[in-house]
Amino acid sequence: MDNNKLQTPEDSYKQLRELLSEELKMDSGTEDFVKVLRKFRWYMTLYHCSIREVRTKFEVLNDELSITHERNPIQAIYSRVKTPESIFGKMRRMGVPFSVESMNANLNDIAGVRIICQYIDDIYTVAEMLGRQDDINILTVKDYIKNPKPNGYRSYHMIVEVPVFFSKTKNIVRVEVQLRTIAMDFWATLEHGMKYKREVKDADRIVAELKDCAEQVYALDTRMQELKERIRTA
């Protein structure tokens, strides 16, 4: 889940209108354009609503765990819907057609929720609890904690389907969920800034140092979890 600036549905609508006119080469005053625009707006609204559904699920779980575990394992919940500009840019890079059908078929991360936990074992506990809910369908899981990326990135990724109920329809929407510790998130924020900065002096050296830091972060997370268990059982 990238760090797109959070947009309201109204902001998205303005940007969407401009991008559709440009990408589809359509006159924004025609009836056909209005139909396409309305269809995109419908799905963008679905994505915004799907985030509320998933956020609420994690908030409820955190409330429950505050009683059963006498602490809140979830420290923070962040969410975003990709901007139309980001969506169209990704579709352009993938070489897929610009349509609602193509967007839904090819992109799994338009709606994204990031969960920040205290400890590594909290991540697996919360992810398992979410997966047990009968209205959640887990499509894919990528465990970058046990199997980090070559650059050192660690996080637990899930693509889930969640129902969004409108007045007359039940809509199944995909949401990307990322779970990581506070330390992992701190590292990922810095690495993300490095990745998207065009020119960085001594880039190779910084990349190497970031990878070393990633190992130190994981070692710290592991040690803190061990200390937590020793305190709990003392």
Order of all β-strands in the sheet with 74-81: 74-81, 111-117, 170-181, 156-165, 137-143
d(CA 215, CA 146): 12
- Distances in Å between the Cα of 91 and the Cα atoms of 45, 96, 107 are 19, 6, 8
DSSP 102: H
Dist CA 93 CA 211 (whole Å): 27
pLDDT 10s digit of each residue in the chain, 234 long? 655 445 555 666 677 777 777 766 666 667 777 788 888 889 999 999 999 999 999 999 999 999 998 899 999 999 999 988 889 889 999 999 888 889 999 999 999 999 999 999 999 999 999 999 999 999 999 999 999 999 999 999 999 999 999 999 999 999 999 999 999 999 999 888 777 666 777 778 888 999 999 999 999 999 999 999 999 888
Q: Is the separation of the CB atoms in 36 and 24 below 8 Å?
A: yes
- CATH architecture for the domain at 9-182: 2-Layer Sandwich (3.30)
